[in-house]
Amino acid sequence: MSMIDLARALPDYAKDLRLNIQSLLNETILSDQQKYGTLLASAIAGGHLPTIAAAEAEATAKLTPEALNAARAAAAIMAMNNIYYRFGHLASNKEYEKLPARLRMNIIGAPGIEKADFELYSLAVSAINGCGLCIDAHEKVLQQHGVKVEVVQAAVRLASVTVAIAHTLRAIA
């Protein structure tokens, strides 16, 4: 099942989501690797199995095994990092921010695909998970790689619609 097919199951009150996912999947501002990697990482972050399955189907047809793995890895590592770093940022006791994380994050240094694309997936998942510190860190790396703000915005738009579809379908199940 494709994302468009999945979106057809949305109720009429969520028609905008149906239209948005169709538009976003047809946009050309993101490369296929950026678009479908972001889609998959975002679906995984949304945690709704039918949305994940639809995103997997879309992504498998467009991405290399390495890019599929990187998208999954971005969702996994950001699930951990977003909680850890958001805690340090939000805690009143700033001593936590001074302590080393002592968490393995090797995938960030060697994602198996272009660093900028992995950072884009990570930023999208960080936006979903609400970690401003991680958003800023990934956005800084993207700037260093010359990624335009329009590309970042397109990825976050795709992430927001993907997760909105997941939440809406979960609510009506």
- Using CB atoms within 10 Å of the CB of residue 1, give its burial: 0 to 12 exposed, 13 to 18 middle, 19+ buried: middle
Question: Which one is catalytic: 7, 24, 78, 134?
Answer: 134
- How large is the average pLDDT for residues 124-132? 97
Write out pLDDT tens, residues 139-157.
Answer: 999 999 999 999 999 999 9
Q: 39: how many CB neighbours lie within 10 A of its CB?
A: 31
Domain with residue 87: its CATH number is 1.20.1290.10
Number of domains in the chain: 1
- pLDDT band for position 93 (50/70/90)? very high
CA–CA gap between residue 73 and residue 157 (Å, rounded): 20
> Which two structure tokens, joined as six digits, stand for 61?
């047809």
**Is pLDDT above 90 for 82?**
yes
Q: Are 161 and 24 in contact (CB under 8 A)?
A: yes
Question: Which one is catalytic: 24, 55, 128, 131?
Answer: 131
Reply yes or no on whether 167 is catalytic.
no
> Which two structure tokens, joined as six digits, stand for 100?
């080393």
Classified as helix, coil or strand, 74 is helix
Reply yes or no on whether 164 is catalytic.
no
DSSP 110: -
Range of the domain at 158: 3-172
Residue 173 is predicted with a pLDDT of: 78
Write out pLDDT tens, residues 14-27.
Answer: 999 999 999 999 99
